Amino acid sequence: MKTIFDKNIREQLINRINKINKENNAEWGKMNLIQMLKHNTYWNKWILGKENHKYKQAFLGKIFGKIALKKMIKDEKPFDKNIPTSDQFKVKESTGNIEYEKSEWISLIKEYEKFNNLSFIHDFFGKMTKEQIGVLVYKHTDHHLRQFGT
């Protein structure tokens, strides 16, 4: 199973991020390129435990979260197109510097080499093992890179 905690996988993802340019358009979804980049920066800061995020599982997540997580990370199948995102990760700002946003995202990807946010609780899936986090982060990153053709 591919995981963000594998150095070779991180390098592959970084290479794909580096290929992003202003010509990349979404193949699905409502985000533009800047929104996708900012979404991923914010999302990874949440996973990594930066910026004093609050960790709390939603009520529906307590009922369905573990089942959904197992389904999403049980195999190598990429995430489906147009999967919903929590309101906290929806980026309204649609302008910015592509190269700056890419460098921010890449720096966060590199930080998974020393991941230690043991207090992380996903807002829907709840408490996760490091292995589950690794697969989820890989699949989330791959999902958005595929969304923009890289």
Give per-residue pLDDT as tens, 44-93.
Answer: 999 999 987 788 898 999 999 999 999 999 999 999 999 888 888 999 99
The sign of the torsion formed by the CA atoms of 90, 92, 93, 98 equals positive
Q: What is the pTM of this model?
A: 0.95
pLDDT at residue 53 in the model: 78
pLDDT at residue 54 in the model: 80
Q: What is the mean pLDDT of residues 8-32?
A: 97
Contact predicate 145/13, CB 8 Å: yes
Residue 39 reports pLDDT greater than 90: yes
The pair of three-digit structure tokens given for residue 91, joined into one six-digit string: 């980026």
- Confidence band, pLDDT 50/70/90 cuts, at residue 130: very high
pLDDT at residue 115 in the model: 97
Residue 2 reports pLDDT greater than 90: yes
Q: What average pLDDT does the structure give for the chain?
A: 95
Closest CA to 150 of 3, 13, 28: 13
pLDDT at residue 73 in the model: 96
